[in-house]
Amino acid sequence: MEKRWFEIEDLHLARGGRPVLQGVTAKLSGKAIGLVGANGAGKSTLIGAMLGVLRFSQGNIRLLDMKVPEQAQLVRSRSGIMAEQAGIFPGGSGVDAVTFAGMLSGLGKREALRQSHRVLDALDVGEERYRPTKGYSTGMRQRCKLAMSLVHNPDLLILDEPTVGLDPKGRIQLLSLIRDLKEEGRHILLSTHIMQDAEFVCDDLILLESGVVSFSGSLGELLDGESGQINVEGTGIDQEFAAALSAAGISIKDQTDSQLSFIARGDDDLRLFWRLVNERNVEVRHLGRKGVALEDVVVQMMGRTS
């Protein structure tokens, strides 16, 4: 079992005299953790407490063995933040914005520029980096914001609604980039109100409803270990790919041109599926669960706290 890196215990926080977080507790070890809840559930407030910018009245926070608020400055220096509301620095090009973010994180100008090009290359941003950011599409702005959070090579990425405003294609592209960062070994906290985003990227979930945790644990635990049919569509989803899945022990239900259905018996089967996707350069355009409906489980779980 992996070591827990995310530990919050009995956290209470009020703003303007109104309780916002009420006994939040979650102790998790997944590389990517989804913080899921509707707007107003307390997700941004919890992130503020984790970074030491909001003071809590009771409880304990420990991230990557750093205790908050005692080591909050160290937590911030080792974190990359992609905020929902904050935008790109006005004026200049994309590489200018990422370089400036690196300098704000403590890098010298030359090193910040070098790291900016490195991370923009990794995010597949080409000549667009030299264009003025005021002309960027929503997708390019989100990539630039992600690059700004990565430029100083943080251990922890905190991403607040990273797919907001993106079309379906741009959303999948950005989530795929985030999942690749997880596979590289980064720790990720993904705050979202979109269940599919969390399912695409995350190993563990925290379901937050009106400042109260209705569930914390792995996706497998949330689904109570039940099997489910996974429907997938994309380029390279062919008979050869289906045969590779079958040879690895995954039960195939159906396979047609560019579409496939298989039975996932838990997280291990899903990890095996994504490993074969990466090895064979398969492009997944759609993935959904049939049988055990994760969204239905989440709605039921959150309803218990209301």
Give the pLDDT of residue 226. Answer: 46
Mean pLDDT across 127-153: 94
3-state secondary structure of 285: strand
Give the pLDDT of residue 303. Answer: 58
pLDDT-derived band at 39 (thresholds 50, 70, 90) equals confident
Give the pLDDT of residue 11. Answer: 98
pLDDT-derived band at 298 (thresholds 50, 70, 90) equals low
For the ranges 28-37, 130-139, 203-212, 282-291, the lowest mean pLDDT is seen at: 282-291
> In which residue ranges of the chain is CATH 3.30.70.250 found?
223-303
- Specify the CATH number for 6-218; select among 1.10.3720.10, 3.40.50.920, 3.90.550.10, 3.40.50.300: 3.40.50.300
Cα distance between residue 33 and residue 16, in whole Å: 29
Choose between 76 and 271: higher pLDDT: 76
Cα distance between residue 31 and residue 6, in whole Å: 10
Give the pLDDT of residue 301. Answer: 59
- Mean pLDDT value across the chain: 89
**Tokens 């569509």 -> residue:** 233
For the ranges 7-16, 198-207, 249-258, the lowest mean pLDDT is seen at: 249-258
Per-residue tokens: 132? 């003025």
Q: Is the dihedral of CA 49, 50, 53, 55 positive or negative?
A: positive
Give the pLDDT of residue 105. Answer: 93
Give the pLDDT of residue 225. Answer: 46
pLDDT-derived band at 230 (thresholds 50, 70, 90) equals confident
Report the half-sphere exposure of 204 (CA within 13 A, side-chain side). 20
pTM of the shown model: 0.76
Mean pLDDT across 131-150: 94
- Specify the CATH number for 223-303; select among 1.10.4160.10, 3.40.50.970, 3.40.630.30, 3.30.70.250: 3.30.70.250
Whether pLDDT at 287 is above 80: yes
87-122 confidence digits (pLDDT tens) = 788 889 999 999 999 999 999 999 999 999 999 999
51 neighbors 74 (Cβ within 8 angstroms): no
For the ranges 81-90, 188-197, 221-230, the lowest mean pLDDT is seen at: 221-230
> In which residue ranges of the chain is CATH 3.40.50.300 found?
6-218
Whether pLDDT at 306 is above 60: no
Per-residue tokens: 52? 């030491």
265 neighbors 227 (Cβ within 8 angstroms): yes
Give the pLDDT of residue 7. Answer: 98
